[in-house]
Structure 1
Amino acid sequence: MNPHISLPRQHGGPANFGGTPPTRGETIRMPRFFKRLFKFPQMDFEMAIWEMTSLIIAPKKVFRSIYYHTKNTWHRPDPSFTYLLSAFLLLTSLAWGLAYADGFGGTVKITLVFIFIHFIGLSLLASTIAYFLVGRLLGPGVPGLPGRRRQGLFAQPGESDPLEFGYCFDVSIRAFFPVWVFLYVIQFLLMPVIARDYWVSLFFGNTLYLLAFGYYTIVMFLGYNALPFLHHTELLLSPIVVLAILWFASLFGFSLPRHLAPILWAGAKLRKHV
């Protein structure tokens, strides 16, 4: 696939969630993201599939290529990626439910938890944290030091290049995709092997978590590094050091798949034969 791509402008308009910035005396309009929430014919699912493929093979291309100013916003008001990943989570939740849940009600519970708590809920939480911390600590300031800048959910007259909550959400949901691949798909397929009492199983199982959360950190970094008005974004890579230390310590007997598998986050239990 080679979708048509517009290049970013280096200086954009006010912060919003994909809405058109209001002029003086004009009320704030509903963000375009919400306006397009159920307009499926207008969604670019082809671009969403291209993004997902690139997030695993070459994640830098995603933010370097598709994030551009559309009516003065860095946020891309197209929920196609959210819908597509939710559909994939639906399929994987059914697989986890059939394998480990007790009955139809347990499978429904796992499906709701996977989509609305693991994916949407954690992405909103990560977006909120990044929105308040990244914009304040990594904005322009004294050369060589983290700066501080103002940001807002919606447009503020006279401001330029603020950090948008919509963009933070864009980054968070895309960072979740590698987590889905490693922990919801690959881990499910390998669970009967990696959850056994062998050191090799321990090594490969725990390495899946290192790859998943390491990829998550890298995608988050690339997302904010693509914004020209943020500085010192390399600080966002620092959790990788902590993850590597925890991964090494876990090799001495703590099996992450047996204690942190997504099915356990949903309140279900791994069956004894695993």
Structure 2
Amino acid sequence: MKYPTSPTPSTSTSFAGTGGFASRSTSPLPPPAQYSANCLSATSKSYRFLRRLFKFNQMDFEFALWQVLYLFIAPQKVYRNFHYRKQTKSQFARDDPAFLVLLVVSLCVTSLAFAGVLGLTFARTLWFVFYVVFVDCIFAGIIVATFFWLVTNRFLRNSQLDPDIEWGYAFDVHLNAFFPPLVILHFFQLFFYGWLVLRSELFLSRLLGNTFWLLAFSYYIYITFLGYNCIPHLKNTRYILLGFPIAFILYVVTLVMAWNVTYSFVDFYKYRIY
């Protein structure tokens, strides 16, 4: 049986406003590995993903690293490759856990550095890493992904006859959006720890620290928007961008209230592990 020919991953589709894809252009990202035209059930896809979670020799870490890089400099190009996956593998969600593994490793490394800056003991460092990986990232991601999965399938599809948004894809969107804030808040911010926390009474300290948080939230909102905007049969995805003015208003309020957000979250981190 012959399958219809799908576009090769060497070309990509550019965005036309908020309505989907229009023109074609070359993508600098490498093609996803392991082409397959088979359409699997959600249960089968989940089982295959979990089965590969500890088979590192089967993961495409090169492609995952490309995604990490482009999430910072051109996140829309990452989602063009999700579109290719839908064409070639009949699913938007990742079938390769390499990106999740890279994210967890990055969380562990940056959390260890964060714990070192905070001066935590070995036992409390392990507890801190556990909280960051399994609560702040994965558990919170399950909640956020479930929320967007329900909202998009209930309110944002053009027609109820259109295919459902996969829960796995909603979780992938969260992971994509989580990576840049992780680097901003758990890595770059550490270089200014003395200013952001130890001198929290200064206006410049509040301005710098709260700006880091504003930048992190802005990345999360924008990458989340791109994740749902790239699906052709979704409408009104621009409403996700309402998070921008809300984040900016909160940013201004924190400065007016002389609230150092970084200082408060460091206290919260310490409270959870003591």
TM-score by length of 2: 0.80
The aligned counterpart of 1:116 is: 134
Q: Which amino acid aligns with 1:243?
A: A
The aligned counterpart of 1:211 is: 215
1:101: Cα distance to partner?
4.4
Q: Distance in 1 between matches of 2:208 and 2:91?
A: 42
Task: Report how many residues are paired.
Answer: 238
For structure 2, list consecutive stretches of 5 or more residues without a partner in the other structure: 1-27
1:41: Cα distance to partner?
1.2
Matched, 1:3 2:30: yes
Matched, 1:73 2:91: yes
Q: Distance in 1 between matches of 2:44 and 2:236?
A: 26
Identity percentage over the alignment? 33
More strand by share: 2
The answer (yes or no) to whether the contact 1:17–1:77 under 8 Å persists in 2 is no
More helix by share: 2
| Higher mean C-alpha deviation, range 254-263 or range 36-45 | 254-263
The aligned counterpart of 2:167 is: 165
Q: Which amino acid aligns with 1:119?
A: C
The aligned counterpart of 2:261 is: 256
1:17–1:190 distance in 2 versus 1, CA, 3 Å: farther
Matches within 5 A, 1:17-166: 19=45, 31-67=47-83, 68-69=85-86, 70-141=88-159, 149=160, 161-166=163-168
1:125-170 Cα deviation digits (max 9, x unpaired): 11111111122111114xxxxxxx3xxxxxxxxx762210111111
4+ runs of 1 displaced by more than 4 Å?
12-15
The answer (yes or no) to whether the contact 2:82–2:93 under 8 Å persists in 1 is no
| Higher mean C-alpha deviation, range 199-208 or range 70-79 | 70-79
Q: Distance in 1 between matches of 2:62 and 2:132?
A: 24
Q: Which amino acid aligns with 2:141?
A: S
TM-score by length of 1: 0.80
1:208-260 Cα deviation digits (max 9, x unpaired): 10110111011110001111111110011111111010001111211111112
The answer (yes or no) to whether the contact 1:123–1:172 under 8 Å persists in 2 is yes
Q: Which SS does the other structure have where 2:192 is aligned?
A: helix
The answer (yes or no) to whether the contact 1:14–1:160 under 8 Å persists in 2 is no
1:73–1:121 distance in 2 versus 1, CA, 3 Å: same
| Higher mean C-alpha deviation, range 89-98 or range 227-236 | 89-98
The answer (yes or no) to whether the contact 1:113–1:266 under 8 Å persists in 2 is no
The aligned counterpart of 1:16 is: 42
Q: Distance in 2 between matches of 1:57 and 1:192?
A: 29
